[in-house]
């Protein structure tokens, strides 16, 4: 009887340990979603699909931006963070955070746009002019357009004056002739075309596909857990993507995919973009 009881308890113990391992919790943050309510609304379907596919439990950790997210990881309050390319470079430099999987966005590239009727016909015509960019430090709205201008021979804050205006304000300034061009990503061209239907815009410079948004892991996370996360995206990407893009806010990922073979070297191009604006140490977010 004692033997049977001991055997039963051992079996229960193994089952409990297995269940515990299967339900290991990962703490998950997204740098461009502010607050728990928005996080649950925008990422809830993704969470359900990922948990079902991985056997892991996801605990959302709300942050109010990239600085809070990196501080939370430094304090061991968060394990995985979904963020942009430029932000990844800082996470990696400060905390040795490692890439896990990229969230590929179709048509994710930078442009420099002018009015169709503008006298600016070539990048050299922007010399001495004022150019507006989007959010300071943004890969696609700031660093990417600056890189296009640098490749065209225009030095940042030397050959032109960079300013940072709200997108609609920037378009109005462009129409008024107060600025000569705007740095945008592909999606934003659609946005301003819809917002200003009476205006025609011309793409003066168009970049290549940018490095994608990335899910990164704290250096403190068990490598086995990181591999489970990576393998889940590799094996169940279609189902997870369908759940992710079921919310309007994640429409930018429609038609995309997950790339689990990402390496840190894939983001060297972003480090070069930092250098274009005079930053050679990558431990601080641009503009902070």
Angle, CA of 205, 207 and 208, to the nearest 5°: 155
Mapping DSSP onto H, E and C, the string for 99-118 reads EEEEEECCCCCEEEEEECCC
C-alpha 259/C-alpha 279 separation (Å) is 28
**pTM value?**
0.86
Q: What is the pLDDT of residue 251?
A: 93
Helix (H) or strand (E) holding 40: helix 36-54
CA distances from 164 to 21, 66, 136, 167 (A): 48, 19, 7, 9
Q: What is the pLDDT of residue 10?
A: 44
Helix (H) or strand (E) holding 226: helix 223-244
Under 8 Å between Cβ of 253 and 240: no
C-alpha 156/C-alpha 137 separation (Å) is 14
Q: What is the pLDDT of residue 7?
A: 44
Q: What is the pLDDT of residue 286?
A: 87
Which domains does the chain possess? 2-106+211-276 (3.40.190.10), 110-206 (3.40.190.10)
Mean pLDDT of successive 10-residue stretches along the chain, which has 288 residues: 44 40 82 95 98 97 94 97 96 97 95 97 97 94 97 97 96 97 94 94 96 97 97 98 97 96 96 94 86
Q: What is the pLDDT of residue 23?
A: 58
- The angle that helices 36-54 and 223-244 make with each other, rounded to 10 degrees, is 110
C-alpha 156/C-alpha 159 separation (Å) is 6
Q: Which of 160, 277, 152 is nearest to 206 (CA)?
A: 152
């Amino acid at each position: 009887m004692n033997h049977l009881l001991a055997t039963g308890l051992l079996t229960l113990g193994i089952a409990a340990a297995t269940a515990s391992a299967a339900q290991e919790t990962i703490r998950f943050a997204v740098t461009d979603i502010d607050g728990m309510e928005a996080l649950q609304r925008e990422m809830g379907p993704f969470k359900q699909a990922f948990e079902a596919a991985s056997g892991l439990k996801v605990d959302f950790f709300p942050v109010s931006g990239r600085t809070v997210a990196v501080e939370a990881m430094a304090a061991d309050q968060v394990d995985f963070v979904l963020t942009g390319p430029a932000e990844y470079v800082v996470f990696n430099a400060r905390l040795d955070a490692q890439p896990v999987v990229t969230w590929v966005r179709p048509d994710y590239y930078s442009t420099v746009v002018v009015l169709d009727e503008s006298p600016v016909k070539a990048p050299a015509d922007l010399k001495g002019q004022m150019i507006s960019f989007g959010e300071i430090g943004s890969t696609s709205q700031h660093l990417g357009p600056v890189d296009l201008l640098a490749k065209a021979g225009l030095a940042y804050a030397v050959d032109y004056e960079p300013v940072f205006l709200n997108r609609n304000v920037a378009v109005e300034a462009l129409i008024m002739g107060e600025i000569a061009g705007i740095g945008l990503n592909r999606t934003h061209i659609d946005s301003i075309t819809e917002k200003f239907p009476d205006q025609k815009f011309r793409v003066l410079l168009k970049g290549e596909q940018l490095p994608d948004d990335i899910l990164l892991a704290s250096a403190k996370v068990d490598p086995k857990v990181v591999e489970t996360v990576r393998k889940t995206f590799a094996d169940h990407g279609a189902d997870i993507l369908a759940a992710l893009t079921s919310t309007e806010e994640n429409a930018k990922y429609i038609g995309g995919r997950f790339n689990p073979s990402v390496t840190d070297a894939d983001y060297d191009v972003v480090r070069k973009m930092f250098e274009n604006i005079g930053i050679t140490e990558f431990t601080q977010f641009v503009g902070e």
